[in-house]
């Protein structure tokens, strides 16, 4: 019990004084996960919107693959990206191994299927008759797509938040391709793991508190989006 209390006390001090290690890990985590999430929104939302609206042979198979992607084990993604950016790998010339870029790629691969899959569901949840109504109002295909995405913006926001929530809490892939370099690729999760292994619970608790705060913020936005009333 003393150990926990001492850890929590030290965590409070580190948070209040703005400990540089804690600040660095938080900044790195937000930069890496934020970039990966933005990339996954940029590609996942259009792809998901298309998947939600298009009707083509093999659509169910594609949706199944995307859904499978939502449950990808981070260590498998880490392995895959590590092999790609390994010095002798296909993208070795980029020299991305143990960099934030490699971490962004890994986290993007984890977040993009979540964003695309949930966007497809969000678009499909918009009343199908709205498409008929928009066509009746003389909307072109592009206008229809833009309006449907805007109508589904809150579920799509939820999709983006889910993507961010998945990667901000992820450790396996980031550790494998980022190498947990202090002040560079060390993020909240990898720092917590390292500090815990060293018995530095005060630092670990401080980082864990920030991580929980971020996850709570994500869930707050998601809950607000889900509870909002729709027009008749």
Partner 1 sequence: MTELLTANDLAVWRGQREVVRVERLTIEDRETLVVLGPNGAGKTSLVLALASLIPFRGELRFHGEIVREPIAYRRRIAVVLQRPLLLDRSVRENAALGLALRGVGRHDRDRRADAALARLGVAHLATRPASSLSGGEAQRVSIARALALDPEILFLDEPFAGLDAPARESAIADLARAVGDGGVTTVLVTHDRDEALSLADRVAVLIAGRIRQVDRAESLFVRPIDPEVAEFVGVENVLPARVQASDDEITRLVIADRVLEVTATPPAGELFPLVGIPPDDIVIARETPATSARNAFAGKIVRVEPIGRRMRVVLDCGFPLVAHITHRSARELALRAGDDVVASFKATTPHLLARHRRAEISPLGSFAQGRSSRSSPLG
The angle subtended at Cα 15 by Cα 28 and Cα 38, nearest 5°, is: 30
Structure tokens at 141: 């295909």
Structure tokens at 43: 């590609």
Nearest to residue 214, comparing CAs of 188, 190, 193? 188
One of 127, 217, 219, 223 touching partner 1 (CB under 8 A): 127
Crossing angle of helices 201-227 and 153-168, in 10° steps, is: 170
Distance from C-alpha of 117 to C-alpha of 141, rounded to nearest angstrom: 22
Question: What is the per-residue binding string for partner 1 in 154-183, x denoting contact by CB under 8 A?
Answer: ------------------------------
Rule CB under 8 A: which of 67-86 touch partner 1? Answer: none
Counting contacts by CB under 8 A, is residue 213 touching partner 1? no
Closest distance between partner 1 and the C-beta of residue 123, in Å? 14
- 52 vs 172, beta carbon nearer partner 1: 52
Q: How many residues bind partner 1 (CB under 8 A)?
A: 20
Closest distance between partner 1 and the C-beta of residue 165, in Å? 24
Stretch that binds partner 1, among 22-30, 144-152, 186-194, 195-203 (CB under 8 A): 144-152
Counting contacts by CB under 8 A, is residue 136 touching partner 1? yes
Q: Count Cβ atoms below 10 Å from residue 62 Cβ, excluding itself.
A: 15
Crossing angle of helices 100-125 and 59-70, in 10° steps, is: 130
Residues that bind partner 1 (CB under 8 A): 127, 129-130, 132-140, 143, 147, 150-151, 229-232
């Amino acid at each position: 019990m003393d150990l926990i209390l001492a850890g929590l006390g030290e965590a409070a001090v580190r948070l209040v004084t703005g400990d540089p290690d804690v600040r660095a890990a938080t900044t790195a985590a937000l930069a890496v996960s934020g970039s990966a999430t933005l990339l996954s929104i940029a590609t996942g939302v259009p792809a998901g919107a298309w998947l939600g609206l298009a009707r083509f042979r093999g659509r169910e198979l594609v949706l199944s693959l995307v859904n499978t992607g939502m449950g990808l084990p981070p260590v498998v993604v880490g392995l895959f990206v590590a092999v790609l950016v390994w010095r002798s790998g296909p993208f070795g010339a980029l020299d991305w191994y143990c960099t934030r870029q490699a971490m962004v790629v890994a986290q993007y691969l984890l977040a993009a299927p979540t964003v695309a899959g949930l966007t497809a569901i969000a678009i499909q949840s918009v009343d199908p008759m709205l498409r008929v109504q928009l066509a009746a109002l003389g909307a072109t295909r592009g206008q229809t797509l833009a309006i449907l995405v805007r109508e589904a913006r809150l579920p799509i926001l939820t999709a983006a938040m889910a993507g961010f929530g998945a990667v901000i809490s992820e450790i396996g892939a980031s550790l494998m391709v980022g190498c947990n370099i202090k002040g560079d690729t060390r993020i909240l999760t990898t720092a917590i793991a390292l500090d815990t292994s060293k018995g530095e619970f005060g630092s670990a608790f401080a980082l864990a508190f920030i991580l929980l705060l971020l996850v709570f913020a994500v869930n707050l936005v998601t809950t607000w989006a889900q509870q909002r009333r729709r027009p008749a």
